[in-house]
Amino acid sequence: MNNDRYSVNVKNNDRYERTLMRYSDRQKAEARDRLLNAAGRAFRREGYGGIGVDGLAREAGVTSGAFYGHFKSKDEAFAEVAVAGLEQLEAAIRDLQTAHPDDWAERFIDLYLGERLACDLDVSCALQSMTPDVMRSGEATRQRYEVVIQRIVKLVAGGIAGPTSEASERMAIALLAMLSGGVTMARSLGSEAMRAAFARQLKDAAKQLLKSD
């Protein structure tokens, strides 16, 4: 009888420990996501050189020690944020293509040169706000960034009706460069009227690009 009671207690303890481990893993993943989101806002707003680990930790409401519990360095956090930002863009494009297969590209242009131009810098698209810092980052970060860029180019090209796959890819690269570079230039202007003029001209040029091939 005592042995039976002991076996039941062992099973209960094992079940409790497994539940605790699952809960702990979930908590750790949620904490890491909060740090990534906070770091994403901070890197977009301040730039890589404008904020350190202490600032990133404050942005997330945690200690610097907690930051190092999830990332080995600021470089690692930046790489994760940059890649995650591009993956958000990739997902948004895919959603547009699914919801609006006939005119997704025109809608994407309007969105990028409208809402994504007017939004606060800390929630802006990673393609325009983080690329300059990625350019100055290490080889490993640039390689990871390139992998997602290649996927985005293929995704955009697959939704463009070019005469050949090569032509569609050229159009996709030109469109992404035009939009991200154009928004970066427009954001640098002090005049609201000038930003609006940039946006209008870029919209026309980008939509004309879709018809060029």
Determine whether domain 1-71 maps to CATH 1.10.760.10.
no
Assign 6 a pLDDT band (cuts: 50, 70, 90): very low
> Model confidence over 33-91: pLDDT tens digits?
889 999 999 999 999 999 999 999 999 988 999 899 999 999 999 999 999 999 999 99
Q: What is the CATH number of domain 74-213?
A: 1.10.357.10
| The pLDDT of residue 117 is above 80 | yes
Segments making up each domain of the chain, as ranges: 1-71, 74-213
> Model confidence over 134-171: pLDDT tens digits?
999 999 999 999 999 999 999 999 999 888 999 999 99
Nearest to 155 by CA among 123, 124, 127, 119: 127
In angstroms, what is the C-alpha Rg of the chain? 23
Write the DSSP symbol of residue 160: S
Which ranges of the chain would DSSP assign to H, the alpha helix? 2-46, 53-60, 64-68, 74-99, 104-112, 115-118, 126-129, 131-135, 139-158, 165-187, 192-212
**CA atoms of 6 and 3, how far apart (whole Å):** 5
**What pTM was computed for the model?**
0.84
| Amino acid in the structure at residue 135 | M
| The pLDDT of residue 174 is above 70 | yes
Residue carrying structure tokens 């907690």: 66
**CA atoms of 175 and 130, how far apart (whole Å):** 18
Judged by phi (left if over 0) then psi (alpha if -120 to 50, else beta), residue 53 lies in alpha
